[in-house]
Amino acid sequence: MSPARTHAVLVIGAGFAGLGTAIRLRQAGVEDVVVLERGWEVGGTWRDNTYPGAACDIPSVLYSYSFAPNPDWSRAYSGSAEILRYIRHLVEEFELRPLIRFGADVSELRFDDATGTWTASTRDGRAFTARAAVMAPGPLANASLPDIRGLASYTGHVVHSARWDHDYDFTDKHVAVIGTGASAVQIIPELVGTARRVKVFQRTPGWVLPRPDFGHPDWLRTVFRHSRLSQRAARLAWFAGHEVLALGLVWDTVFTSAVQAAAKVNLRVQVRDSWMRRQLTPDFRAGCKRMLMTSDYYPALQADNCKLITWPIATLSPGGIRTADGIEHQVDAIVFATGFDVCKTGTPFPVTGLDGRRLDEEWAGGARAYKSVSVAGYPNLFLTFGPNSGPGHNSALVYMESQIDYAVQGVRLILDRDLRLLDARPERQERFNAEIQRRLGATTWNSGCRSWYLTENGTNATMYPGFATQYAHQLRTLDAADYRLAPGLTVPAREVGGHNDAGSGARDSVHECEIGRASAATRP
């Protein structure tokens, strides 16, 4: 099916990142933006994660866009429903709904060397073409149901944390929870409050610190509403506090030991039983896996109707879970709080770049990009939460804003200079990645635990080894010298959707004509 016309930009995903990209593009004068969303509502992970207790472990003042502050957060750490309301508010406030194509599940993204355009095909047979594409499918979009032996034989109810079944009533039920990560520690206290009995199957205990949550009093909201400066100050204070945490959570330092000591004090204060404390004491460095921020998890584990099981799961059976000690745990329902399939070595759908090269093939040994946003050989394409862009200590939204604003600079450069290709220089990408991997060696993530940050062979293609401030700084200005540029369009300008004359923020050091047209575009 041939696409109707060539848009300025395709954005894939209508979660936080995709919507933020659309807003910033429009603020930069790029109006012809199409957002492709596979679901039927916006919100991404916050639309999907509706499990009881779902909340963000980063304060809302910081877990929101600086260009769209919300004075009305009800508490320091808002729940998922309130975050989703904020996302929907963005859609209305910035009039994004007309840009979004719902039910557009992208099955392929392909670059046309001759025209310098990207075409996204969707599973329902539609095709959308644009001068530039921004990938914003979210790193945590696909729920992971682990391949546990006997799973198919289990006859009870199965629920995944990221696809909660609100029609199933847990009241009075015997429930098993598999997993003790960031999602599980939020779900378990809620289930303990409703179910008859909850058995928690722990494979690896995590480091836990209390979450300093509090309701925002009316006066604070009034102050926020009347003074943007006060909101900015609050955001800055939370930001600075989290930056300090990097000293212990990102790098394996004496501060890491201090974080562990604090978590051990928390464990001792909250858990009475010494055997249980041993069961809950991690054997890896704090920060290696995501720090768990919760004040009600340990109390829930000690409730009369809750039991912590640390024997490995041997198999699922028709009636429940059999552990390695031979005990059969009969349960009405199993909650899989087992995380997500994260694309560390592939792409969520085939992405074909210059000369027919495939991104999943190139990333088979671990994903790599230039500054996490561009990939050599895939011109005019920008990634949000691309390789090595993840935070371990600060708000994902801070990282996301930097990626978006960098991508917007790239888009402006393409449109303003009528470029066919804006392609990251492979040698700069190589140098950048060598440096990232060198720096990762000193981080807690590479200190020896198993986590979703690492590939099977231990490569860390997920996290950024530094402060959020450093990450944002390197993305502040898109330097055209980092890219190979090719001018000229086969697409007639009048076919391309409108953009106004707002200036590009990209640094003006353009070296054009370094890539030949069409077939002359070669692999680096």
Say whether residue 294 binds ligand NAP (CB under 6 A). no
Say whether residue 282 binds ligand NAP (CB under 6 A). no
Q: Which of 290, 322, 393, 499 touches ligand NAP (CB under 6 A)?
A: 290
Q: Which of 68, 127, 145, 148 touches ligand NAP (CB under 6 A)?
A: 148
Residue 347 to residues 65, 145, 282, 358, 423, Cα–Cα distance (Å): 26, 19, 32, 10, 19
At its nearest, how many Å lie between ligand NAP and the CB of residue 249?
A: 13
Say whether residue 341 binds ligand NAP (CB under 6 A). no
At its nearest, how many Å lie between ligand NAP and the CB of residue 150?
A: 12
Q: Which of 10, 25, 184, 454 touches ligand NAP (CB under 6 A)?
A: 184
CB atoms within 10 A of CB 268: 11
Say whether residue 91 binds ligand NAP (CB under 6 A). no
Which range binds ligand NAP by CB under 6 A, 49-57, 164-172, 324-332, 506-514?
Answer: 49-57
Distance CA 451, CA 284 (A): 11
Say whether residue 183 binds ligand NAP (CB under 6 A). yes
Which range binds ligand NAP by CB under 6 A, 126-134, 301-309, 331-339, 413-421?
Answer: 331-339
Say whether residue 422 binds ligand NAP (CB under 6 A). no
Say whether residue 182 binds ligand NAP (CB under 6 A). yes
Say whether residue 75 binds ligand NAP (CB under 6 A). no
Closer residue to ligand NAP, CB minimum distance, 23 or 58: 58
Say whether residue 462 binds ligand NAP (CB under 6 A). no
CB atoms within 10 A of CB 328: 12
Contact (CB, 8 A) for 136 and 12: yes
DSSP state of 348: S
Residue 334 to residues 90, 155, 201, Cα–Cα distance (Å): 36, 10, 10
Residue 15 to residues 39, 131, 285, 331, 346, Cα–Cα distance (Å): 10, 22, 32, 35, 20
At its nearest, how many Å lie between ligand NAP and the CB of residue 29?
A: 33
Distance CA 348, CA 342 (A): 9
**Amino acid (one-letter) located at 495:** E
At its nearest, how many Å lie between ligand NAP and the CB of residue 132?
A: 28
Residue nearest to ligand NAP (CB): 181
Q: Which of 452, 464, 467, 471 touches ligand NAP (CB under 6 A)?
A: 452
Distance CA 263, CA 211 (A): 12
Closest by CA position to 83, among listed 104, 52, 55:
55
Say whether residue 132 binds ligand NAP (CB under 6 A). no
At its nearest, how many Å lie between ligand NAP and the CB of residue 113?
A: 37
Contact (CB, 8 A) for 479 and 509: yes
Residue 131 to residues 65, 215, 441, 494, 510, Cα–Cα distance (Å): 26, 46, 38, 13, 19
Contact (CB, 8 A) for 399 and 17: no
Say whether residue 62 binds ligand NAP (CB under 6 A). no
Binding site for ligand NAP (CB under 6 A): 55-58, 140, 146, 148, 161, 178-184, 203-204, 290, 313, 337-340, 450, 452
